[in-house]
Homo-oligomer: A and B are copies of this chain.
């Protein structure tokens, strides 16, 4: 979450074990020009997240159900509430259908980002239980899925007034660390920039395996980190 809007990035790898990996989009959006822009990113059980997104899609298409729809919700808070309810009931449905062996499976979480005209851009993290928290300037970013490897650089590099381009670069560096450490995260990556009061994606990009910019970042970040490391004061055994 930046002063000028919202920047999202997701990978596309899903797996049922390391010998069964696939590419599925984990970023979705719906918008009404001039009125609202709503984006969702997903992590966790793919069948669960696809079921939730399909239900959201259907609601946006069936006019007679539009009283439930993201496109009619009066606030982003209502949007997050609606998505949380759908996520919780989807997970509960699968778990109860599978009895004892369904326990703790089918879980998923989501990030909901967007803006409705006349209000601020907002960013939420929705838990499997259907409840959610909202980003603030004290905690201005959320991660779901494999969050740890990529977190330190975001903590250090983030500034609320950074440009969209710098934010995309920061997220690419963060994802690069995660990609290098965890096989369950993989290219391609999806990038989306939502400008304040834009109500449509300002920028969308899929970072594929042969993306020249991402590859340049990935290869030069190692050297840049080494230079940063060597710029720090040296340790001495005798200075204590």
Q: What is the predominant secondary structure among interface residues of chain A facing chain B?
A: helix
CA A215 to CA B220, docked complex, whole Å: 28
Nearest chain B CB to A42's CB is how many angstroms away? 21
Contacting residues of chain A (198-240) with chain B, CB-CB under 8 angstroms: 202-203, 205, 213, 216-217, 220-222, 224-229, 231-237, 239-240
| CB-CB under 8 A for A225 and B156, given A213-B235, A234-B169 | yes
Which residue from B193, B231, B236 sits with its C-beta under 8 Å from A224? Answer: B231
- The residue of chain B having its C-beta at the shortest distance from the C-beta of A218 within the complex is B232
| CB-CB under 8 A for A217 and B233, given A225-B157, A228-B225 | yes
- List of 6 A-B pairs having minimum Cβ-Cβ separation, nearest first: A148-B148, A224-B228, A152-B177, A228-B228, A165-B235, A156-B225
A180 at the interface (CB under 8 A from B): yes
- The residue of chain B having its C-beta at the shortest distance from the C-beta of A205 within the complex is B240
Using a CB–CB distance below 8 Å, which chain A residues touch chain B? 148-153, 155-157, 164-166, 168-170, 172-173, 177, 180-181, 193, 202-203, 205, 213, 216-217, 220-222, 224-229, 231-237, 239-240
Residues from chain B with a CB closer than 8 A to the CB of A231 are 220, 224, 227
Residues from chain B with a CB closer than 8 A to the CB of A164 are 237
CA A216 to CA B225, docked complex, whole Å: 17
Nearest chain B CB to A225's CB is how many angstroms away? 5
Q: A153-B229, A166-B235, A220-B231 are in contact. List 5 more A-B contacts (CB 8 A).
A: A148-B148, A149-B149, A152-B152, A165-B235, A220-B233
Contact present for B205 and A233 (CB under 8 Å)? no
CA A226 to CA B164, docked complex, whole Å: 16
